[in-house]
Structure 1
């Protein structure tokens, strides 16, 4: 290479270096859009990234938040995670035939069972939507459905619509009417507005407590948690945790039983929870799992003198089998049976999620649903806007959304007792009171204004009593007195 050409090239290299630096800085300010990945059919227990594309029920969706899917989080049920893509999906446009011969096969004071002749489709029928009047009551895959939560001695009308994988809907069936029977009234329940708290049967950074030391402000005390029995499919077990017992100087089952009875004598309700962050139950099979669950849980309720159970399943559930199990358990316990639920925020984003199906099946015997308004990303309120956790607007906008489907007298606001009690979403007790006041009376709201006033709002729940103890029960001492001021 000659010297003249070499000097030119060296000079060019020197001039290029600043230009590359400038281009690199510009690219940092304008990052490339995340590429979309075609992930095929949506499935539970899969990690999805932003812009991933899936299909579900013949329609296309794009992920708008990274997450790991769970049963009940199907794309149409969680609009905070998935965005519908217009024009996506398959080309099937043929609707199933109309369901025929819809008949009333069973009636109780609170339920109606329907059956019908199956529809046909050019590809295949995937399910049926059963409507009570003009409202969707339940979706099923078979040709029978039980609609629960009805009032005694009341006439209802029903119709059935078939659907296929592409989302095509059949014409509605002929309407049938059914009148529920007269039935016994339910047992006594806690006061109108209640505070629920979880007692930790394990050791972590929270205070270690005996049940006798729980303050009077708590109306419902939830023992956390019953554990899945590994050798008895569907069964559960419970005993005082050995580490907790040692930390409390030898706290025994007998002491716990005595403490529970003392609390009940004071008018408190004491129940036991299944699930939690790490727990689960195995009701994947109806037999023998359902019977094992009912018998083992009834044994725990009898041994410890409990009032009922709490459902805190965070890793999916078999709704039909769980519904059946809880109904059977309630029959064993009697009319004083207390049933609470603690769904995550995302579980209440849509009326068709697993938790909403469970609630619709059991709302006639449900005491309260305490939604966990924490450990959440951005979630959609009733106005379609995405609200961040840890604010009064998050509590009110998300509650207002759920109140389209859940009775105010059965909805509670679940919050962490301290900032250490959850990964995110902590608000002060004053903010909790502001949210309750906003929902009940329309006062103390933030920027979000609920569409109505809900004076029957049930109350609040906290995780946990043990964490509340670390601040000398600030939450209980602030929120419980305020509940007494609500209408």
Structure 2
């Protein structure tokens, strides 16, 4: 959270490799030498085997590296859609699909492209892999080449890509023409579906293998929620004390089988992150307790009853790596109207008596905390406990920013983190949770950079010149999801972020909050890895983070846009261009930076919240 002025994350930028010209020259020489050939006329028995080559069905059938691809409505060559793919960092924005072909057969791949250094090719041919390219196409330009499959080749991968450090390229009407292959049969219906371990937020499933199946699709209450290659899975992100129905279907290249018979399971009680006595819709706000800025100091006793969770900002470390957290209240020289310690503690008790939760927030813009050693981890636990005990607080808010969390280069699995600063933080928080028990309130306030950007760049080191922080909160959130009361991502001070629709969304309107929140409530592949899926959180664990006023941070949203976002997510009405993957009436509420800035703005944010939720 920014104490002073708004910050904007720099846009994602690629870089040009030093040997770019040499590589391009080599590629051109290969093309001249005869690898790129003029296609012959298609035979009568030939067919176009490419799936969705015009991108009229979005990216169906296509996979783009690092989430680089998106479908656009302009420019297009034919129809209403085309592919736009954007190279970034060390990623060349390759979009590909694998096609079933006949062995020892002639094929022609062709397509239309726009942009600089755009490539079209085929790999896995079993003979000589081919590609063709253009150095510059200001309008739609056709690329085409031919190849022959090997005597044992049954699969070929088509692809298009750009080049490092270049702008986005466009592609449309991609085809692969050659002998068709008769479609096989989908696999048989799975049998033996049964439930295993059931917790308050997850259900384990297993079933018998199906001959010829390459994967399995899992359905929850009739909606596909997960795909796996094995014969077991755990469906997470469920609501406590709720009955669910599950089915499974087998999948191969020919399609998906009918669904199995259903099994039901009811999740357990408890879990899900602490006390259940928060209101159904809660308002969370940060109170400037250790400093003053242009918003002025606000006494805790003067905070209106609108606020259900009050985060005291901030507890900060004595040094970045010490783990020793201190909470120093704002000095009178900086905050002339600051209350005494006795009055401050009395105000905490009064708020708690009124059903409010008061937490210590650790970190903030200036409070970088790196728990790189077990000694720092243990000091963190001891010092945070001391603050909680001294003031009689309800729990902890983690607001790590800056370089507090970053990933080691080999830490690519968010479910099994190895980076010490992440592992030690998880262990420290679990220790605090165990010490204070079920009523301990745990909240987190990461920036979108640390969460949603993981959809594209987690573990790849490709954001903004290999920044290891992209998505670094994901392993912490996942490991603590059953202890987490609220996650309220800061949907502000952020650059454009790609949503699950493969479109970039920018701050300032309802669509940004809808897209960012939908990601948290819907399973999504991390860094485009279909096998590395981040399970959804429960709706009652989510509050949307917004600035309280135009003074509080970049990305302020007018009350009307706030209400549009809430309408869309909780009722699926008043939605904009983004289509959500569900409806979540149990969405917990809103978080804002900050109570002080809301007071400065005549309480516009909290009054609008009260009016919306009654």
Q: How does 1:68-467 map to 2 (within 5 A)?
A: 84-85=91-92, 133-134=232-233, 187-201=275-289, 202-230=291-319, 233-243=322-332, 246-286=334-374, 288-314=375-401, 315-317=403-405, 318-349=421-452, 350=454, 353-404=471-522, 405-422=536-553, 424-467=554-597
Q: Is the 8 A contact 1:274 1:311 kept in 2?
A: yes
Q: Provide the residue aligned with 2:598 in structure 1.
A: 468
Q: Provide the residue aligned with 2:529 in structure 1.
A: none
Q: Provide the residue aligned with 2:613 in structure 1.
A: 483
Q: Deviations along 1:356-388, whole A, 9 cap, x unmatched?
A: 211111111111111111111111112010111
Q: Deviations along 1:412-464, whole A, 9 cap, x unmatched?
A: 11000111101x21111221122011100011222223122111111100000
Q: Is the 8 A contact 1:199 1:221 kept in 2?
A: yes
Q: Deviations along 1:218-268, whole A, 9 cap, x unmatched?
A: 10000011010239921101121215x652335222221111111111100
Q: Describe the SS at the equivalent of 2:315.
A: strand
Alpha-carbon distance between aligned partners in 2 of 1:364 and 1:34, rounded to the nearest angstrom: 38
Once the two structures are TM-superposed, the CA of residue 270 in structure 1 deviates from its matched residue by: 0.4
Question: Are the structure 2 counterparts of residues 61 and 355 from structure 1 closer, same or farther at C-alpha, using a change threshold of 3 Å?
Answer: closer
Question: Are the structure 2 counterparts of residues 304 and 385 from structure 1 closer, same or farther at C-alpha, using a change threshold of 3 Å?
Answer: same
Q: Is the 8 A contact 1:194 1:480 kept in 2?
A: no
Once the two structures are TM-superposed, the CA of residue 108 in structure 1 deviates from its matched residue by: 12
Once the two structures are TM-superposed, the CA of residue 111 in structure 1 deviates from its matched residue by: 11
Q: Is the 8 A contact 2:321 2:371 kept in 1?
A: no
TM-score norm. by structure 2 comes to 0.51
Q: Describe the SS at the equivalent of 2:483.
A: coil
Question: Are the structure 2 counterparts of residues 250 and 425 from structure 1 closer, same or farther at C-alpha, using a change threshold of 3 Å?
Answer: closer
Q: Is the 8 A contact 1:189 1:336 kept in 2?
A: no
Question: Are the structure 2 counterparts of residues 453 and 62 from structure 1 closer, same or farther at C-alpha, using a change threshold of 3 Å?
Answer: closer
Q: Deviations along 1:301-325, whole A, 9 cap, x unmatched?
A: 0111110011111133222111110
Alpha-carbon distance between aligned partners in 2 of 1:478 and 1:131, rounded to the nearest angstrom: 49
Q: Is the 8 A contact 1:60 1:84 kept in 2?
A: yes
Q: Is the 8 A contact 2:310 2:358 kept in 1?
A: yes
Q: Describe the SS at the equivalent of 1:382.
A: coil
Alpha-carbon distance between aligned partners in 1 of 2:198 and 2:582, rounded to the nearest angstrom: 33
Gaps of 5+ in 2: 1-12, 20-63, 70-85, 96-196, 203-227, 244-266, 406-420, 459-470, 523-535
Q: Describe the SS at the equivalent of 2:508.
A: coil
Name the Cα RMSD after superposition: 4.0
Q: Provide the residue aligned with 2:16 in structure 1.
A: 36
Gaps of 5+ in 1: 1-32, 40-58, 65-78, 89-106, 113-128, 138-147, 155-180
Q: Is the 8 A contact 2:552 2:593 kept in 1?
A: yes
Alpha-carbon distance between aligned partners in 2 of 1:256 and 1:280, rounded to the nearest angstrom: 26
Alpha-carbon distance between aligned partners in 1 of 2:270 and 2:518, rounded to the nearest angstrom: 32
Bigger shift: 275-284 or 248-257?
Answer: 248-257
The count of corresponding residues between Structure 1 and Structure 2 is 351
Once the two structures are TM-superposed, the CA of residue 84 in structure 1 deviates from its matched residue by: 3.5
